[in-house]
Structure 1
Amino acid sequence: MPVTLHHIVVDTHDLPGLARFWAAALRWRVLSEREREVVIGPDESAPVGMCFMPVPATERKTVKNRLHLDLTTGAEDREAEIDRLIALGARRVDVGQSGEESWTVLADPEGNEFCVVRPKETLIG
């Protein structure tokens, strides 16, 4: 059997806080919560989820992520979703974009960048 993606793992200083931010951002739920791990996903049978693992406070993020998530939504909802994510604790960040991009760069409460891209239907054709 070939390998498949199981979890996207995110290191965090605030284990429950960052997990809850992403659960709310994605409209997922917390599936399991242990002392050193919180897993979120759309439901227990989903093939992929996110797992949050603690790191020492001395380990700080210092540069742009080498891997990030791209989120999308309907064209009419894009700005409202960006506003919702900011209200949850995200913030706009500048990683060198020109302003002409079809995406908006945000960072979660711990500074991990992610993008809200234009809807798929506007990317094709």
Structure 2
Amino acid sequence: MACRITELVLDCADPQRLAGFWCEVLGYVELDREGPNIEIGPPGRGFGGPQPTLILSHSTDPRRGKLPLHLDVNPTDRDQDAELRRLLAAGARTADVGQRGGESWHVLADPEGNEPCLQ
């Protein structure tokens, strides 16, 4: 038996803001709130479902450079260009991490500067 990822925990300054952003991006809903920390996940599934939940964990520690892990997202019901427009409208912004221009993906930044890629 192998393990599977059940939760991803992201330290952040403003869990409420990031929960709203990532709920919009992923179609997730708020599942739980413990103090300032918020867990979001697929509606009707929650923790233990086939997709991992995301915990936005409040932290006042300053971020030290680029995170060693980033999320890749893929549109499920529209093409990449339409999804890019949707994510930018939701509060993402484009990010430059040294792309050369021929990539098939877009590097974005969430409201706290985390850098997901839109595949």
For the aligned pair, the TM-score class normalised by the smaller chain equals: 0.7 to 0.9
Question: What is the TM-score normalised by the length of structure 1?
Answer: 0.83
Displacement of 1:24: 0.8
Question: What is the TM-score normalised by the length of structure 2?
Answer: 0.87
Mapped pair 1:106 → 2:108: yes
Which 10-residue stretch deviates more, 95-104 or 32-41? 32-41
Greater C-alpha Rg: 1
- Structure 1, unmatched stretches of 5+, are 118-125
SS at match of 2:65: coil
Would you say how many aligned residue pairs link Structure 1 and Structure 2?
Answer: 115
Displacement of 1:75: 9.0
Tell me the distance in 1 between the aligned counterparts of 2:28 and 2:88: 17
For the aligned residue pairs, the C-alpha RMSD in angstroms reads 1.8
Matched with 2:62 is 60
Q: Is the 8 A contact 1:61 1:111 kept in 2?
A: no
* Percent of pairs with identical residues: 40
Matched with 1:19 is 19
Tell me the distance in 2 between the aligned counterparts of 1:75 and 1:6: 24
Tell me the distance in 1 between the aligned counterparts of 2:100 and 2:77: 21
Tell me the distance in 2 between the aligned counterparts of 1:37 and 1:76: 31
Structure 1 or 2: more helix by fraction: 1
Q: Is the 8 A contact 1:64 1:95 kept in 2?
A: no
SS at match of 1:94: coil
Tell me the distance in 2 between the aligned counterparts of 1:97 and 1:66: 17
